[in-house]
Structure 1
Amino acid sequence: MAGAIRTIHRGGSRFYVDPQTAEKMPGVTSVVGMLPKPFLVHWAARMTAEAAVGNLPAVASIAERDETGAIDYLRNAHSRYTRLRAKVGSDAHDLFERMIRGEFIGRVHPDLEPYRDGFAEFLEAVRPELVRAEDVAWSSTHQYAGSFDAIIRVQLGEDGKPDHENGTWHTLIVDWKTSKAAYPDVALQMSAYAHADLIISPDGVSEPMPEFDGAAVLHITPDGWVFKPVRIDREVFDVFLVLRRVFQWDRETSKTVFGRAIAQSARRLITGTQRRA
């Protein structure tokens, strides 16, 4: 594969486009998004309720002038929160990449200070060696692609803890998480990256995906951080492949299941009175 990979969005999902064939591969996170998440309904309802209770005078004032506007304000409470968190997460990921590449970091926005301090502690405690960062994992075999955070090498002792003197070097694919919690579906995401066929750099140069000794997630919040291993074995990857088939059903196959009507009701009679009206 030659040429830089570009991304597009279709129907709320991200696709990675082969520059030579124009073939579109669904993004890993879009595929993982097929996993049922019923708790999100209750979370969104709670966000709406909190927005209403916390802003009663403002909501009432808006409703007096524009009832639809007030409804939209409350209805979109969870979306506003998600966009805000996504902005913080994106900025933090950019900061982490700069720091692990050894770039000097000066002043940052106050919202990012705890993430900078936490990541600096992680670098000091674990002393990772960066192999790759923010490249594309591409699977022609299973038809998906995605951008991973980093591949690193770390020295670990027999107890799995950092051992900078006598530890064995391990090559890990890692993910940075800045959400309130690190959820199990990160294993599906990372197993997809690790089992991809190719790794593709920003300039389009590709090479086989390397072998990994494991995977890990750095969950970092303003309150602290934890670096822990994540399963990426075949059992986990097989679940991801099921979701890939669900994605295919949702976006393509489901649109082909109905044929042309064999028979249907007759058109409703339109009276002369209705035509004159």
Structure 2
Amino acid sequence: MPGAIRTIKRGGSRFYLSPETAEKVPGVTSIVGMLPKPYLTFWAARMTAETAVANLPAVASIAERDETGAVDYLRNAHTRYTKLRANVGSDAHDLFERMIRLEEIGRVHPDLEPYRLGFAEFLTTVRPQLIRAEDVAWSDEHNYAGSFDAILRVRLGEDGRPDHENGTWHTLMVDWKTSKGAYPDVALQLAAYAHADRVISPDGVSEPMPEVDGAAVLHITPEGWTFKPVRIDEEIFNVFLTLRHVFQWDREISKTVFGRPIAESVRRLITGTQRRAA
């Protein structure tokens, strides 16, 4: 009997371990993370500046006693924000899974209540039928894996809007997003999941990946929600596969490019500065 699927972190990346063979493959999110994101540098700098301006007296007080501590407080501003948002997102995803499975939901934390209301409105408006949720998509051909949010059936009219009477049923790979925006790289994630060979349940049971007609993202924030289609065609999937090769280069191939020196100097110049330091 297969066991529960496990994940490990190595070098800042997540890897999935096959429940049958213990084979290690990189996660979809880590592969998509190979995309260049120069805007993050400017965002982190702005977050540091905003934290300093908003907390000038506190920063000055810390700096008087511990300059290093004040620097650390400011330079870690963006990581504290990211961790906070990740915690909210994780709690919201857990809430969405329980709601899509039609579990009874009691009172939730005030921070989650806007997300609960938005997701409840989504369920009423779209009336999705759940096929799978929070399982692992596994590609034997391309050696990657990742946990997807849901596969849903929705009934849509010719205009692409919900039509519960005369619409056509569509099977969609769906991702929930609770960040400020839904960004284009969600298409790479969804394409990777949809093109995987099989789906593995939490207890390790493997089945062929269900055939999907497309993909969609539910972007839900305290201010509202949108449910919109996402491209997952061959062009998008090929971009993901390119990033899969980049990941392989970064983690493995790049470490093999240099061989033993063909020749090297027989002596090393020792400068006067180095002698005096000794």
Query: How would you bin the TM-score normalised by the shorter chain?
Result: over 0.9
The corresponding residue for 1:267 is: 268
The corresponding residue for 2:153 is: 153
The corresponding residue for 2:202 is: 202
The corresponding residue for 1:115 is: 115
Verify: 1:98 aligned to 2:98, yes or no: yes
Q: Match for 2:122: what amino acid?
A: F
Q: Deviations over 1:218-255 (max 9, x none)?
A: 00000000000000000000000000000000011111
Change (3 A) 1:45 1:274: closer
Identify unmatched segments of 5+ residues in structure 2.
Answer: none
Q: Deviations over 1:15-40 (max 9, x none)?
A: 00013322111000000000011100
Q: CA offset at residue 166 of structure 1?
A: 1.0
Match of 1:169, SS state, is strand
Higher mean Cα deviation, 59-68 or 80-89?
59-68
The corresponding residue for 2:226 is: 226
1:1-277 map, 5 Å: 2-265=2-265, 266-269=267-270
Q: Deviations over 1:166-223 (max 9, x none)?
A: 1111111100000000000000000000000000011111111111111000000000
Q: CA offset at residue 268 of structure 1?
A: 3.9
The TM-score, its normalising length taken from structure 2, stands at 0.96
Identify unmatched segments of 5+ residues in structure 1.
Answer: none
Q: Match for 1:154: what amino acid?
A: V
Mapped to 2, the partners of 1:136 and 1:19 lie a distance apart of: 11
Q: Deviations over 1:87-117 (max 9, x none)?
A: 0000000000000110111111111010000
Q: Match for 1:21: what amino acid?
A: T
Match of 1:111, SS state, is coil
Match of 2:64, SS state, is helix
Mapped to 2, the partners of 1:98 and 1:211 lie a distance apart of: 24
Mapped to 1, the partners of 2:169 and 2:2 lie a distance apart of: 32
How many residues are paired up?
A: 276
Q: Deviations over 1:22-68 (max 9, x none)?
A: 21110000000000111000000000000111101111111111111
Q: Match for 1:11: what amino acid?
A: G
Mapped to 2, the partners of 1:50 and 1:262 lie a distance apart of: 52
Mapped to 2, the partners of 1:187 and 1:2 lie a distance apart of: 31
Mapped to 2, the partners of 1:47 and 1:270 lie a distance apart of: 44
Q: CA offset at residue 269 of structure 1?
A: 4.9
Q: Sequence identity of aligned pairs in percent?
A: 81
Mapped to 2, the partners of 1:46 and 1:270 lie a distance apart of: 43
The TM-score, its normalising length taken from structure 1, stands at 0.96
Q: Match for 1:267: what amino acid?
A: R
Mapped to 1, the partners of 2:184 and 2:103 lie a distance apart of: 32
Q: Match for 2:28: what amino acid?
A: V
Mapped to 2, the partners of 1:260 and 1:71 lie a distance apart of: 42
Match of 1:184, SS state, is coil
Q: Match for 1:55: what amino acid?
A: N
Mapped to 1, the partners of 2:141 and 2:254 lie a distance apart of: 22
